[in-house]
Amino acid sequence: MDNINNPHDKFFKQAFARKNVIREFLELHMPIDIFNTIDIITLKPVSTEFIIGLTLNTNLFVECAF
């Protein structure tokens, strides 16, 4: 078996790569008036590897229309 580094990080990255998990998380944790403005169908995870000049310490970005 491969040596697993940062198993929690890998778990969350895999889980939040799924649109239904993102939607459920936002629905539970975002104020409902803001959540209702999001076009849920357009939700998609965005890779942080391609964001130039990123200075935030984050592993997850989500893009959507509203």
pLDDT (tens digit per residue) in 1-21 = 455 577 887 888 888 889 999
Helix %, strand %, coil % of the chain (to 5): 40, 20, 40
Q: pTM of whole model > 0.75? A: no
Copy the structure tokens of residue 35.
């959540």
**How long, in residues, is the chain?**
66
pLDDT (tens digit per residue) in 21-43 = 999 999 999 999 999 999 999 99
Please give the sequence-ordered ranges of beta strands (E in DSSP) within the chain, or none if there are none. 39-46, 61-65
Copy the structure tokens of residue 53.
């000049």
**Region 47-61: what's the mean pLDDT?**
65
Three-state DSSP class for residue 22: helix
Whether residue 46 contacts residue 63, with contact meaning beta carbons closer than 8 Å, is answered with: yes
